Amino acid sequence: MSKVLIIGAGGVGSVVAHKCAQVPEVFSDICLASRTVSKCEDIAAQIKRPIRTEQVDADNVPQLVALIRDFKPELVINVALPYQDLHIMDACLETGVDYLDTANYEPPDEAKFCYKWQWDYQQRFKEKGIMALLGSGFDPGVTNVFTAWARKKHFDEIHTLDIIDCNAGDHGQPFATNFNPEINIREVTQRGKFYENGQWRETDPLSVCKTFDFPEGIGPKKIYLLYHEELESIVTHMPEIKKGRFWMTFSDNYLNHLNVLQGIGMTSIEPINYQGQEIIPLQFLKAVLPDPGSLGPLTKGRTCIGCLIKGTKDGKDKSYYIYNICDHEECYREVKSQAVSYTTGVPAMIGAMMMLTGKWRGEGVFNMEQFDPEPFMEKLNIHGLPWVEYDGDLSGIDL
Ligand code: NDP
């Protein structure tokens, strides 16, 4: 029986609130706080259990501290934006409360994805006797747990890891992103990067493309190499990995729109002066794009996110693929959100459950692959993200 404070009432925050509310034996009291309190109230109105709602500016540490002292949660689940991570971690340190998030810190003025800023809290969290669990979404999150599971159950050594994220859904809009547009476009337009033999290698944005034949009728789709933050933590904690890459599908339509927007400067995060006011083009673009929350009732099709892993077992080479398939319309029926928010919000709830039930405990700052994957994998099957594994002949797949 635990009190949990959820910060951020966007697409993911809504799923986290719904899913925590489904497990009252763990989450006995829930408070949902965000910048715009009416969004918290709208979500609370969809949920049968009573949920406290609050307004909070998560960049304001004293405000956060006051809210935490008033509500007295055992855990803060941060599903606001990556810009807020360090402020919320500071408030947790001041109040001695555990912390969980789904995305690593990014400085607002630089699209840079790395764990350094949050790993730097290790000593302070340890001294305070509290725990931070970083990246408890799907990717990062479940993909880290899939890798740890493969290492525990199927391999003696992992040599290559390819994380492959496919959204085969269609929202019928000319151009929209499935989660926060600003964060999504910053991620996609950065230079690509992958890990090989102890070094990071960079590529031009979206310049490496292959085709991958997705299972269960989804079929072949183009996948593009991107940098994704879980590569950094996984190769740090599993140094045996020789090559680690992350791939994502994009439709030609999405990429054509993105090319044009980039070409005319609309994806820039450099401030410009517009009619006497400083604006950031990417933030303006976010304001005119569809709100990802509004795509829920429109999106059809499925996501398929998984890990293709090669290595050795009992002295023999082995290949293995593990994935989850999630249906946008089924998610909407259950929690009024599409599958991208669902696949992030469910693992955030399960990560919180791991911490609050003592299955995953520690003092300091942790990534998902550092814990025993078994209890988490079991809960994925129960709470809406069942997984499938395949270790037959994968020799035809050459990424
Ligand atoms: P949204 O933009 O839909 O929601 C973000 C919410 O945070 C909004 O309600 C927003 O408030 C609130 N917020 C922003 N700034 C503040 C602030 N200063 N104080 C309080 N609240 C604030 O984003 P998503 O729900 O799509 O994404 C949430 C997080 O999940 C992001 O960090 C994203 O990177 C991460 N994510 C992780 C994935 C994974 O698999 N690991 C996949 C997808 C997303 P307002 O409504 O007022 O704007």
pLDDT at 66: 98
* Ordered domains of the chain (ranges, CATH): 2-134 (3.40.50.720), 142-337+382-390 (3.30.360.10)
pTM: 0.96
Q: Nearest to residue 99, comparing CAs of 33, 179, 233, 6?
A: 6
Average pLDDT over residues 157-167: 97
Answer whether 331's CB lies under 8 Å from 338's CB: yes
Separation of alpha carbons 282 and 182, rounded Å: 6
> If you measure from the C-alpha of residue 343 to the centroid of ligand 1, how many angstroms do you get, rounded to a whole number?
14
Task: Please tell me the residue having the least CA distance from ligand 1 atom 46.
Answer: 36
> If you measure from the C-alpha of residue 102 to the centroid of ligand 1, how many angstroms do you get, rounded to a whole number?
10
Answer whether 303's CB lies under 8 Å from 320's CB: no
The secondary structure of 91-119, three-state, reads HHHHHCCEEEECCCCCCCCCCCCCCHHHH
Q: Nearest to residue 341, comparing CAs of 1, 5, 8?
A: 8
> If you measure from the C-alpha of residue 10 to the centroid of ligand 1, how many angstroms do you get, rounded to a whole number?
5
Q: Which of 55-59, 175-179, 192-196, 317-321 has the lowest mean pLDDT?
A: 175-179
pLDDT at 397: 79
Pocket probe mutation, ligand 1, options 65, 81, 283, max atoms within 8 Å of Cβ: 81
Tell me the pLDDT tens digit for each residue of 99-142. Answer: 999 999 999 887 788 999 999 999 999 999 999 999 999 999 99
Question: Cβ(249) to ligand 1 under 6 A?
Answer: no
The minimum-distance atom of ligand 1 relative to the CA of 84 is 18
Question: Cβ(373) to ligand 1 under 6 A?
Answer: no
% of the chain beyond a pLDDT of 90: 90
Question: Cβ(140) to ligand 1 under 6 A?
Answer: yes
> If you measure from the C-alpha of residue 342 to the centroid of ligand 1, how many angstroms do you get, rounded to a whole number?
13
241 DSSP assignment: -
Task: Please tell me the residue having the least CA distance from ligand 1 atom 13.
Answer: 80
Separation of alpha carbons 77 and 99, rounded Å: 6
Tokens of 213: 């034949």
Model confidence band, residue 27 (pLDDT cutoffs 50, 70, 90): very high
Question: Cβ(144) to ligand 1 under 6 A?
Answer: no
Q: Which of 19-33, 54-68, 180-194 has the lowest mean pLDDT?
A: 180-194
The minimum-distance atom of ligand 1 relative to the CA of 344 is 40
Q: Give the Cα-Cα-Cα angle 310, 316, 321 (nearest 5 degrees).
A: 30
Tell me the pLDDT tens digit for each residue of 282-292. Answer: 999 999 999 88
Average pLDDT over residues 50-69: 98
Q: Would the pLDDT of 391 be above 90?
A: no
Question: Cβ(294) to ligand 1 under 6 A?
Answer: no
CB atoms inside a 10 Å sphere around CB 360: 21
Task: Please tell me the residue having the least CA distance from ligand 1 atom 1.
Answer: 10
The minimum-distance atom of ligand 1 relative to the CA of 184 is 34
Tell me the pLDDT tens digit for each residue of 328-344. Answer: 999 999 999 999 999 99
Higher pLDDT, 234 or 392: 234
Question: What's the farthest any 2 CA atoms get from each other in the chain?
Answer: 68
Question: Cβ(351) to ligand 1 under 6 A?
Answer: no
336 DSSP assignment: S
